[in-house]
Amino acid sequence: MYIYLDESFQLKRGTENQFLIIAGFATSDPARIAKVFNRIKKHTLPKKLITREIKSTNPLADRAFKPKLFRELQAEDVQIYAITQIKHQLPHDYFAKDQLLYDKLYLDLLKILLVNEWDYHDEEIVVTTMDTYRPRLLKRGDIISVLQSELAQKYPDKHFRIQFQTSELLNLQLADHICGVFYQLMQNNQKWFEMIKPKLKKIVANPLSP
């Protein structure tokens, strides 16, 4: 099993609905999924954008790319997961002098999603790739160590490998578009949610709320 994850958030000072999302997908055939993603880019985007990363927030993606992408994913080996947390529902220990401890929140949500909520069924080897994250207080290596340690403790019969890579990886670009669906959903926009819903395995909402 191969897992690809990205994060998205709305934490702008003064906004009412502030949140963090981690979302992505699992597949047993990452090469095929990357090929499908790349083919749709070539068929729906201008030539100058084919070799570039197109973010989920790009208006061009909404016109032709996303409709075809999410429609074709319905026939592919993809399972979508997401975890969301609203900031104002967090306990006090996620703040220091009214500042959000983002690294702690990010890691705790990852632990809940990957250790407690993900269904690994009969998989013996699980490779998880996350979009490059630049923590302020933690090191990426520390995040990997914590996750691998807890996964190994809970699933001693499985082998887990966790890594960070840049969004040049096509499957991480797909994770970004999936994450964008949940970003819009958190803002009461279900435009794309209904299209990915058939592949949605689980969504965990506000697991850290008291």
Helix (H), strand (E), coil (C) string for 6-70? EEEEECCCCCCCCEEEEEEEEECCHHHHHHHHHHHHHHHCCHHHHCCCCCCCCHHHHHHHHHHHH
The encoded tokens of residue 141 equal: 């290596």
Helix axes 66-73, 170-186, angle to 10 degrees: 100
3-class state of residue 177 by DSSP: helix
Residue 107 has pLDDT above 80, yes or no: yes
Q: What is the pLDDT of residue 151?
A: 95
Phi, psi of 139 (to 5 degrees): -95, 150
- The torsion defined by the Cα of 33, 39, 44 and 48, in degrees rounded to 10, comes to 110
Q: Given pLDDT bands bounded at 50, 70 and 90, which one contains residue 124? A: confident
Q: Given pLDDT bands bounded at 50, 70 and 90, which one contains residue 84? A: very high
Highest mean pLDDT (candidates 74-83, 122-131, 134-143) = 74-83
Mean pLDDT along residues 111-134:
88
Q: What is the pLDDT of residue 83?
A: 97
Please tell me the least confidently modeled range out of 8-17, 25-34, 85-94, 170-179: 8-17
Selected residue with higher pLDDT from 159 and 54: 159
Residue 5 parent element (H or E): strand 2-10
For the segment(s) 2-205, the CATH number from 3.90.930, 1.10.3470, 3.10.350, 3.30.420 is 3.30.420
Question: What are the residue boundaries of the structural domains of the chain, listed by start?
Answer: 2-205
